[in-house]
Chain A
Amino acid sequence: MRPLLLKGGRVIDPSRNADDVADVLLEDGRIAAVGRNVGTPDGAEVLDVQGRVVAPGLVDVHVHLREPGQEDLETIATGSASAVAGGFTSICAMPNTDPVCDNQGVVGFVIAQAQRAAKARVYPIGAVTLGQKGQQLAEFGELVGAGAVAVSDDGKPVATAHMMRTALEYARTFGIPVADHCEDMSLATGGAMHEGIVSTRMGLKGIPAAAEEVMVARDILLAELTGGHVHLCHMSTRGSVELIRRAKERGIRVTAEACPHHFSLTHEACVGYNTNAKMNPPLREAEDVDAIREGLKDGTIDCVATDHAPHHYDAKEREFDDAPNGIIGLETALGLSITELVGRGLLTLPQLLYRMSTAPARIFNLPAGTLATGAPADLVVIDPGVKWTVQPETFLSKSRNTPFAGRELTGRAELTIVRGQVAFRRTP
C-alpha cells in the first residue's frame, strides 16, 4: 500500500477540536501525521484537496443491511458501498435480519461479508433476545466475542420493563449499550403515521408522540436503576428530547440518536398517501422537528444516524396502510445534515461532524471518529458547498425508497478512504 497524502484541505478533527488548513499523511492504514509541513514520503500518492474539508470518516450506528435473508433489498456489499458513497467509513448493522443476528454465527457471517466487500467497516449489533422475540436473553458474551458492539431488538422495542432491566444490567458486564427502539405497541399498533391533524384528514390511524415518550421514560428510569447505558434509537418527538435533557442533567447514562428525516420533514410529507414518507417512528410536527434540531445543537441528541431501511419498489407501491415502514438514508444523510443544520446556522460544520463521527464512535466504543496520529486511516473528503440534486437511480444502494428524490441539497462526500485506501471516489 502506497502512502497517501491529502494536501491543503481544511482539516476538521472534532475529537481534538482542531480546524485548520493542513496536510494529512496516511501510511500502512493509519494516520501518520497531520500538519502544515508534513512532507511527502517516497512513492506517496498525493491528492490535492484544496477547498475541501477533510474529516474523520462518518459513523452511522443504525443501518439495516438486510443480509442475511433479504438480499433482494440490499446486501452487505451494496450497503457498505452505499455507506462510503455517503461518506461513512463505519456503520453498525442492526440484527433484524433473517436469521436474526442473535448468535455468534450470524455475527461472524456479517463481519466476513463486510471484509469481502472491503468498503465501509461493518460492526454488527446483536439482538437483545433470541429471535428478537422478547422472551429470552441472547448470549451477549458470545455476541461481543464474535465482534458485536451493542445489542438491540430494533424493529421492535425491548418487550417488557423487566427484560430491559435485565438486559441493561447484563450488558454492563461487557461494557456495551442496549439500543432501544422506543415504541409502546399498545398505543402504536395499526398506526400508519403520526397522530395529528394530517392523519385525521387522511383517515389514517395515527401513532401518538406518547407512544415513543412512554418508552423513553421507561428506559431512562431503568438506566438510572441499573447504572447501565441505554442508547435511544431514532428520536422523533419534542417530549422525548425534553425527557433526555432532564435525564442527562441528572447524570443518567442515556445517549440518543436522531435521523435526518426527523429534522427535515414533517407529517405533511405524507399528504397524497406518499408511502416514501412512511417510516417508524413517523414524521412528526414542525415543533418536533425544531426540538430535534435544538437537541442536536445542545447535545441532548448525541449523534445523527440514518436508520437506513431498504425496501423494494413493489412493496412501497401499494396502499399506505399496507406499505412497509422505512426509507434509505446513507447517501442523503450528509447533504441533509449540512443543508438543514449547518445551512440554517444551528450547528457549525465542525459541530455537525462531531455528531456524525466522533460522538457515535465514542458511544459505541468504535475505533473511529478521530484523526489523531496512529488512528485508523478512515477519512472523508467533503465539498461542503456543492449543490446537488438527489437522484435515487444513481445510488449505490439496491433500493430507491426515499422521499427526497429531486430535492436540492448542499454538501456531499467526494472521496472516502477506509484503511488508508480510497473506497469511494465521486465521478462528476
Chain B
Amino acid sequence: MALPTYERTILRQVQDADMSEANVWKTLAVTMDNFSSDIGSFTKSQIANEKSRTAAAKAAANQQRIIDERATSVYVNSKESAVMTGLSQLSVDYANDYDGYIKAANKLQDVWLSDDTLDGTAGMRIAFQTMVSNKVQQYGETPYKNFANQQKKTAKITAEKNVNVFVDDAIHQVSQFINTVNDGSIVPLDDLDGDNYEKQIDLVQGKYLTLQAKIEELVVNNDYSAEDAIKLEQEAQLNFFSGVIKSQIDYEMTVGNGWRSIDSFIQDPNKYIRSKAHLSALFPESVKMNNAMASTIYEDMLKHYKETLNQKDYAETKAEEETLQMQSDNFSQMLYDVVDPEIQVDDFSVAQMLKDGMLTNEGHDALIKAIGQETYVKDNPLVVFDLNRQIIDPQASYQDKEQAITDAFLEGDIGVTTATGMLTKSASSSEVTNKKYFQRGWNAIESALVADLNKRTKNEGDVTNAAQEEYYNRVQGYTDDDGKYFPPEDGMSIYQEIVDKYRPLLSKTKLTVEPQEYYDIDTKIGASFTEMEFDKTTGWNTFFVGTPDKVQAFATKVKVGELVALELIPEFAAAKILKQLKDYIVSQSEED
C-alpha cells in the first residue's frame, strides 16, 4: 500500500473578463446611437415639416398676392380712364401755365387718393399712386414745354429789349454830347478843352465793348446762334449810328439846314461823319459806312421826321382837346354865375370870352340865353328822361354830357336850375354808374316802365325819371328825413322793387308824382337858407346836410328841391347852393 497523500483538486481558474460594465457602456452606446438616429430622423422630419410649412405658406402668400394684384389691376384700370380724362383736361386748361397745372393736378390727386378702397388691398395705394403720378407727369409735359418755351421766349425778348434799351441809352448820352457841341458848350477839338472829346471817345468805346459783352451773353444764356448774334449786333450798331446821325440832323433842322444835311449824308456818309470832329469822335476809326448802311440810316431818318410830324399833329390835337376842356369848364362856371345873384354876368364879358377863345360858340349862345331868361321854364320830362340816360352813360364824356345839357337848355326844354343840377350830377355820376351791374338795373327799369322807346309818353317819361332817380340815389346812398343814413344798395337787388313801386303810376292819365317816402328829407337839418354861412376857404356851406368830413349830397339836393317846391328859396339861390355843393364834392375827392 502506497502512502496516501492529499492531491490538489482545484487550481486557480482564469475567470471570464467582467463584461458587465462594458455591457452597460455598450448598451449606452447603442442607445445613444439609436437616439442619434432618432434625433437625426426627427431633425430630418422637422426640416421636412418646416420645408413643407414654408412651401405651404409661400403658396398661400403667392395666392394672396395674385388676388391682390388682380384686385389692384382692376381698380387701377377702372380709374385710369378718369385720371387721364381729368389730367388731359387740365393739360388743355393750363396749356401754358405749368404751375397752375401742377396745383390743379395735385388737388385732383388728393381727391383720388382719398378713396378708402385703396387701403383695403395690399399694394393698391402705391400702384394707384404711381399710376397717377406718372400720368400727372405725362400730361404735364406739354404745359411744361410750353411754359419753358414761353420762359425762353420771354427771356429772349427781355434780353433783346435790354440790348435795345442799352443802345437807346447810349444814343441819348451821345445826343447830349452832340447838343453840347452844337450849342457851343464844348469847343472844337483844336481848343484847349479837347479832353472832352477824348472822354467821349472813351465813353463810346466802352459802350461798344459793353454791347459786345451783352451780345455774347445772348449767345451763352439765350441760345442765340452766332449768325443771329452777329446780325443783332450789326442792327444795334446801325441803330446807334442812325441815332447819332439823327441827333446831328435834329440840330441841323433847328437851324434850317436839316434837309441839306440829309442830302449831304446820303451822298457821302463817311465824308459827312469825318467832316465833323465831334461825330468822328463817336465812330470808331474802323467803322466805315457802306452804301447799304447809309441807305438804311437814310430811310430811318425819313421815317423819323415823318413820325416827328405826326407827333406834332398829335400835340396839336392834344392842345385842341385841352382848349375844349378849358372852354367847357368856363361855360359851367359862367352858367353857375348867371344864376348867382351876387355875381353880375353881362353880354359884354361873355362876348369878350368868346373872342379870347375861352368859350365855344355854343357856350356863348347858351350863356347869352341864360342871361336873358327871366321866366320859369317848365322841364320837358321826355328831354329830362333822355338827359338822365346820357348822364349815367359811362361811355359818354363829360363834354358830351355838357353839350347835351346845353343844347336842351338852348332849346328851352330845361330851365337853368335843372341844367346846373344836371351839370353837377354829370361831374360825379361816374362814382355811381361805375358800380357793378348799375347799368343793367337802370336799363331794366326803363324797359319795364316804357312800352316803346320810340313812342314813349310824357307820363312814362315822368314815372321813369322818378324811378331812375330813386334807383340812382339808393345805389349812391342817401339820408332820410330823420337824418338816418342809408348806405349804398346793390342795384340788382332793388330795381325790381322800384319797378313794382312805380308801375301803378303809369295807369294814371294825368300823372301826379307824389314825393316818395324816402325823399322826405327833414329840411330843418343843416342851416336854413336865411341863416346859412358859406366858408370860401373850405367851400363848406352850413346849409349842407351832413358834416364837413362826410357831406350828404343827395340829402342836400333833396332839401334844396323841397325848399324850392315850397317856394322858401328862389331858384337862383338853389342853383348857387348846388354849385357850391358840386365844388365842395370835387374838392373833397381831390383831397382823397
Does B bind A? no
Residues of chain B having any CB pair with chain A under 8 Å: none
Residues of chain A having any CB pair with chain B under 8 Å: none
